[in-house]
Structure formats: structure tokens, C-alpha cells
């Protein structure tokens, strides 16, 4: 069940609101729908949809959260994991732990993301450095780093689109 104030519409992917909802309800519903889209076995074929799905999950978090989508060769989702929880302005990322999870799920590819609760979407030098480290570590075991996305309430920044992955 998604939410007690919401029912599925007749057309797939549509919903009817059964009573008034507030902003908190709306964000909760968006988060629940986003998590359903990250069901095991779902193909991640549209990078913008993946970004928006992750944005719905991470945008309201008050601390930095570093997550990974572990994918097979056809970019079907094997697992979604919240790997590291940080502070308001930083999350410590350990490449060894990312690699361990990627191997545990027998991943062929990984899509990484983390939020910037400050609302400033530009990557920090630490973001660029850890992306480069993770790319190298994953390449050693033939796992592709597809992207590292930085998420705020209003936007997503793809480091792959900037040539960093």
C-alpha cells in the first residue's frame, strides 16, 4: 500500500488522491513510489528517470547519504544500497566497502549518487577525487562506473556528463 490517502488509478502509473494531502504526505508518497521503481530486476534504461527516482528518495534527507545502484550487464537492478551516512556537509566514502558491495551483488555496473543537503549541486574537489578513486577500484575487477550523480532538491548533476566517469 502506498499511502492511505492515495489509490491506484485505472491507468498504470496514475493515482487518485482520496483526501487532502499536505507537503509532508506528498514527499512521503513520492519517496515510496521512487523506492518501488527500484525493485530488483527492473532495467535502468533512462538515466534521467534514474536521477529523478534517486532525487525523490534523497532530496529531503538532512544529512549526506551516499547510495549505489548495483546493476547486471543489461543494467537490470540487482540492489539499491545506502552505503554511507554523513553529516550536513560531508559523507566519508570508503572505496573498499563500495567494492565489497559490488562484488557481493555480482555487479557488472554501478551507478552512484549522493545528496547535497545544502542545495548547492556543484561537485566538490572531494566528490571528484572519490569518483576517480572509485572508478579505478571498480575497473580493476571489470565493473563499470556508469555515473556519480549529485542530488539536491532542485537539480541533479551527472559527473559522467562532465567526463568524470
pLDDT of residue 133: 98
pLDDT tens readout for residues 65-100: 999 999 999 999 999 999 999 998 889 999 999 999
Instruction: Give all domains of the chain, ordered by start, each with its CATH number.
Output: 1-37 (no CATH), 42-158 (3.40.140.10)
pLDDT tens readout for residues 100-156: 999 999 999 999 999 999 999 999 999 999 999 999 999 999 999 999 999 999 999
Q: What share of the chain is helix, strand, coil (3-state, %, to 5)?
A: 30, 25, 40
pLDDT of residue 111: 98
The confidence band for 22, taking pLDDT boundaries of 50, 70 and 90, is confident
Say how far apart CA 16 and CA 152 lie, in whole Å: 28
The grid coordinates listed for 21 are 494531502
Could you give the percent of the chain with pLDDT greater than 70?
93
Could you give the percent of the chain with pLDDT greater than 90?
62
* pTM, rounded to two decimals: 0.81
Say how far apart CA 55 and CA 37 lie, in whole Å: 12
Give the CA distances from residue 44 to residues 37, 65, 105, 113, 123, in Å, rounded to whole numbers and listed in that order. 10, 21, 16, 14, 24
The confidence band for 14, taking pLDDT boundaries of 50, 70 and 90, is confident
Say how far apart CA 40 and CA 129 lie, in whole Å: 30
- DSSP lists the bridge partners of residue 35 as none
pLDDT of residue 93: 97
Q: Which pairing describes strands 109-115 and 144-151: parallel, antiparallel, or unpaired? A: parallel
The confidence band for 1, taking pLDDT boundaries of 50, 70 and 90, is very low
Q: Looking at the predicted structure, is the pLDDT value of residue 163 above 70?
A: yes
Average pLDDT over residues 1-22: 75
pLDDT of residue 145: 98
How many other CB atoms sit within 10 Å of the CB of residue 12?
6
Write the CB contacts of 45 (distance below 8 Å, at least 6 apart in sequence).
75
Say how far apart CA 129 and CA 65 lie, in whole Å: 17
Amino acid at each position: 500500500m502506498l499511502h492511505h490517502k492515495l489509490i491506484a488509478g485505472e491507468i498504470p502509473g496514475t493515482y487518485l488522491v482520496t483526501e487532502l494531502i499536505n507537503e509532508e504526505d506528498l514527499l512521503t508518497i513520492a519517496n515510496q513510489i521512487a523506492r518501488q521503481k527500484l525493485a530488483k530486476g527492473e532495467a535502468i534504461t533512462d538515466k534521467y528517470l534514474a536521477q529523478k527516482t534517486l532525487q525523490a528518495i534523497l532530496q529531503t534527507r538532512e544529512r549526506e547519504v551516499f547510495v549505489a545502484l548495483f546493476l547486471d550487464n543489461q543494467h537490470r537492478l540487482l540492489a539499491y544500497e545506502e552505503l554511507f551516512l554523513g553529516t550536513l556537509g560531508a559523507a566519508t566514502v570508503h572505496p573498499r566497502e563500495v567494492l565489497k558491495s559490488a562484488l557481493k551483488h555480482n555487479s557488472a555496473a554501478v551507478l552512484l549518487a549522493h545528496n547535497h543537503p545544502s542545495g548547492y549541486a556543484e561537485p566538490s574537489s572531494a566528490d571528484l577525487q572519490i569518483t576517480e578513486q572509485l572508478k579505478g577500484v571498480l575497473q580493476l575487477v571489470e565493473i563499470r562506473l556508469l555515473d556519480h550523480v549529485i542530488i539536491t532538491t532542485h537539480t541533479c548533476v551527472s559527473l559522467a556528463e562532465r567526463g568524470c566517469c
